[in-house]
Chains A and B, each alone.
Chain A
Amino acid sequence: MSGVFVWIEQFKGEPALVSWQALGVGRKLADEIGEPLIALVFGQNVGELAQKAIHYGADEALVADDQTLAAFRVEPYAALVTKLIEERSPRFMLAGATTRGRDLMGTVAGQVGAGLLSDVIGLDVIDGNLQATRPIYAGKLLSKEVAEGDFQMATIRNRAFPTPDPDESRTGTITQVEPVMAEDEITVKVEGVEEAVGEVSLTDANIIVSGGRGVGGPEGFEPVRELAEVLGGAVGASRAAVDAGWIPYAHQVGQTGKVVSPDLYIAAGISGAIQHLAGMRTSKVIVAVNKDPEAPIFSVARYGIVNDLFKVLPALTKAFKEKLGR
């Protein structure tokens, strides 16, 4: 048994930020058990990413560069991870709890019969086993869980752990590995991705400005967007606004939308239903803008302005433009 594996997720060569956070956690675990930290980098032309993984703390990177691995697919990725686990017998493996990370880790856990702690917000080694804190019941409760067995896995929630600072002087070993499956053995084919262009990803965003039923219509998202733009943030929404068809579902925050944890969450015209709070209550600073001083959103907010959002948001946009010189 030796080493801690961290899967470095990429899309078209762009690394997922949460992968660096996972490397940061992996570094801590590896140091505690006194074993090497090993990054798994799969894709096509991903040599540079392997180098970056070393800068972010890995001792070694196992790189598989192949056309069958260009776009993420569970089958070839899980088969390769399984082979590497058999060859290297790592103690632990980590990945981000993204759509891909969840698929990959859940599948590998089934394949090798490992305990998997998913979507964790805290992770330690206690008596040689992984012990995690993870939200349950949409964050209404937390659960402390422990893994057992020779090989243990965890997926970590985006932004729950700090992103380490890269150290460009760090050196490590880069080892090439071969894929396990040939294209004709893979049943799933990716036909294309329609990318949401020019938008900041909600789950990566440091700042989110969200609109609810209070914005009154699709055009009501204009002042929300303008404020988000000045702040370099992403646009979120309540389910009421999504269900009304004012903004696509990809923007929904909450129990049946995305769970986000930005530094700053500005909720405009959102009442603060329990299902909405489930998606944003771990934000560092919450600002509520609502006409109704009794709205439950104020109970989780640090700052509130009780007024019309159509007056407050443009005024905020103006104030930030002046103060940030944008």
Chain B
Amino acid sequence: MHVVVFTKSTPDTAAKVEVDANGNVTWGDSPLVVNPWDEYAAEEALQLKEKQGANTTVIAVGPEMDNDALKHCVAMGIQEAVRVWDDALEGSDSLGQAKALAAAIKKMGDVDMIITGKEAVDVNSDAVILQAARFLGWPVLSFVAKIVEIDPATGAIKVERLVEEGRETVSAKLPAVVTVVKEINEPRYPSFIGIRKAAKLKIPVWSRAESGRARSEVEAGAAKTKVLEKFPPPPREGEVEIIPSDDVEEAARILAEKLIEEKVV
């Protein structure tokens, strides 16, 4: 079984993210980290490696900054890393990136599962992975909170998904795309040996041509969505009103009245 983790780098979630005078997003000197949801995907892939002898690869479609995420996954124990990128992908949208990802997966040839986090926290979207699944013609098992069983002989997979109403048990056949939520596991820390291996690693970069896609299909000109502007949300209005609470019962009554007056209860 070959399990591929799909990831990207994002600013640390504690970072203060801002837009500079040129309209570019900045995050000060905060480090880049692996997209937090993808850590759970990497952990799940490692458990499949340990329990079922799966081969593991981590892949990113993006510029050099994505090496940070790839190296983190290697430091956790993922065996191989690949980055797909060239200048034609600069400014591409999710459709272009999904095509590049699907082509790279096809090139690998033997992939049984792509596993990734439920979304990328920077763009707040899962469009790339869903569209890649479509280009591959694979089913998507999203928001997975537990892989109940995989039968490597038949490719049967059963998972529990977290949906609005509760937990849904679903079965399907590999190859498939799996997206995971936090509940699925507790990601391990990179080991000392893993960190050393990752530091020395030279990550191969596959160009779009190598992964078999025409430039015209992926480049910015083919994009069907464009970002016009990024900006900070309007600040929340007004200062907090602290209700004195030497007498808690009285404070509660005052607050209750104010909330009823505001028509929020």
Contacts and interface: CB of A to CB of B under 8 A. Distances in A.
Answer yes or no: do A and B interact.
Answer: yes
Interface of A: 11, 16, 74-75, 78, 98-100, 102-103, 106-107, 109-111, 113-119, 131, 134-149, 152, 187-196, 201, 203, 206-207, 231, 249-250, 252, 255-257, 263-264, 273-275, 278, 281, 284-288, 293, 298-307, 311-312, 315-316, 318-320, 323-324
Q: Is the interface of A mostly helix, strand, loop or mixed?
A: mixed
A301 B158 CA distance: 43
B259 interface: yes
Nearest to A284: B264
Given A135-B124, A303-B240, 4 more contacts: A99-B161, A107-B133, A141-B233, A145-B226
For B122, B125, B133, the residue with the greatest tally of chain A CB atoms inside 10 Å of its CB is B125
B252 A318 contact: yes
Given A102-B126, A255-B121, A303-B240, A285 B262 contact: yes
Contact of B164 (A16, A190, A192, A231): A16
Nearest to A285: B264
A195 B165 contact: yes
Contacts of B224: 113-116, 147-149, 152
Given A11-B165, A136-B124, A275-B13, A316 B133 contact: no
Interface of B: 11, 13-14, 16-19, 25, 36-37, 93-95, 98, 121-127, 129-135, 139-143, 145, 158, 161-173, 181-183, 223-233, 236, 238, 240-243, 245, 248-249, 251-253, 255-260, 262, 264-265
B189 to A, nearest CB: 16
A252 B241 CA distance: 26
Contacts of B122: 136-137
A195 B17 contact: no
Contacts of B256: 316, 319-320, 323
B172 A188 contact: yes
B243 A304 contact: yes
Contacts of B139: 74-75, 187-188
Contacts of A16: 164
For A138, A140, A278, A298, the residue with the greatest tally of chain B CB atoms inside 10 Å of its CB is A140
For B126, B172, B256, the residue with the greatest tally of chain A CB atoms inside 10 Å of its CB is B256
The 5 closest A-B pairs by CB, nearest first: A106-B130, A115-B224, A110-B134, A110-B131, A315-B252
Contacts of A109: 94-95, 127, 130-131
Contacts of B133: 107, 110
Contacts of B167: 193-194
Given A118-B124, A324-B265, A194 B166 contact: yes
Contacts of B25: 137, 141
A95 B111 CA distance: 32
Given A142-B231, A144-B231, A249-B181, A288 B226 contact: no
Given A189-B172, A192-B169, A207-B265, A102 B130 contact: yes
Given A74-B139, A274-B13, A304-B240, A231 B265 contact: yes
A143 B13 contact: no
Contact of A305 (B125, B225, B230, B243): B243
B130 A107 contact: yes
Contact of B248 (A196, A203, A307): A307
A323 B257 contact: yes
For A109, A139, A285, the residue with the greatest tally of chain B CB atoms inside 10 Å of its CB is A109
B127 A106 contact: yes
Contact of A146 (B165, B172, B228, B259): B228
Nearest to B251: A305
Contacts of B252: 305, 312, 315-316, 318-319
A302 B240 contact: yes
Contacts of A273: 14
A257 B183 CA distance: 10
B255 A193 contact: no
A320 to B, nearest CB: 5
Nearest to A203: B164
Contacts of B260: 323-324
Given A118-B125, A137-B17, A188-B172, A143 B225 contact: no
B255 A141 contact: no
Contact of A191 (B142, B158, B183, B227): B158
19 contacts: A16-B164, A107-B134, A110-B134, A114-B224, A115-B225, A137-B122, A140-B17, A141-B230, A142-B231, A189-B170, A190-B170, A193-B169, A196-B166, A206-B264, A274-B13, A293-B242, A303-B241, A305-B242, A319-B256
A189 B164 CA distance: 18
Contact of B168 (A115, A193, A284): A193
Nearest to A121: B233
B10 to A, nearest CB: 8
A11 B243 CA distance: 43
Contacts of A118: 124-127
